[in-house]
Structure 1
Amino acid sequence: MLAGVLLVTGCQMTQVEPQPARLTNMSPAVKAELQQAIVELIGGEPVKLADNAFVASHQLFIEQAILRDPQGRPIMGRHQQPAILLELQQDDKQCLLSHPASGRSVLLSLSSCQQAAAEQ
């Protein structure tokens, strides 16, 4: 009987990892919340997001802008900086925006999301 109690207690203490998720309610307020969360995670200025960001995929890649001269040519030549990966996740019915490279996440209070199907 003691083993059964320990087994049940152990199951309750197990933390479930956040799962990949997709947005279910994109709106101007949700987009603004996402932009603020991105600034909090990676710094810099707010990024321009498409209206379908995180709707079709749980991942978003952000490339840094290339500075250009008045003729439209890159000022410093071609940049070699990799894109920044952000992921939308669901943890206990809450949406999180995560930056895997730093291990940091931001809770999104205005966003609704659902677990994403496995991507191939």
Structure 2
Amino acid sequence: MLKRLMGVISILTIAGCVATESEAQAPLQAATLTNPNSQTHAELQQAIASLLSASGVIIADNAFTQYSQEVIERAPHKDANGLLIMGRSTEMPDAIQMLKQGDNCLLRHVQSGNTTTLLQTRCKVEKP
């Protein structure tokens, strides 16, 4: 009885490993949000800030709903009157892309290739 139980546990463990490996080998596909809400919006802002090593970012409510890629620009430095302090900015904006791999949704910083997995956000493959 114990040998049979151990055999079943071994088979289930192997099946779990195979599922995890096949999920990781699934192709990355450009994706858009499904059912965006305040919770997913907050997760997106936090994930993007982490990818950019920024203290925080602000994104539109409809970010990633129509296109898989968004451009993030740094906020210009302004004085108390709202005038630019540094003049014009020559800094290149950052591109963030939403991807789907199996059942997982990910965000990738295009310039660095760094990727993070979204836990609460659901997405679908972007239509061509």
| 1:36 Cα deviation from its structure 2 partner | 1.1
* Deviating 4+ runs (over 6 angstroms): none
Structure label with greater radius of gyration: 2
- 1:55-95 Cα offsets, whole Å, 9 max, x none, are 01101101111111223221111110011000000001210
Contact 2:27 2:102 in 1 (8 A): no
- Among 35, 56, 65, the alignment partner of 2:75 is 65
- TM-score, structure 2 normalization: 0.77
Q: Does 1:17 align with 2:5?
A: no
Percent identical pairs in the alignment equals 36
RMSD: 1.3
Cα distance in 2 for partners of 1:100, 1:89 equals 11
**1:1-120 residue pairs with structure 2 within 5 A?**
15-118=25-128
Q: Which runs of 5+ in 2 are unaligned?
A: 1-21
Q: Which runs of 5+ in 1 are unaligned?
A: 1-11
Give secondary structure in 2 for the equivalent of 1:77.
Answer: coil
What number of residue pairs does the alignment pair up?
105
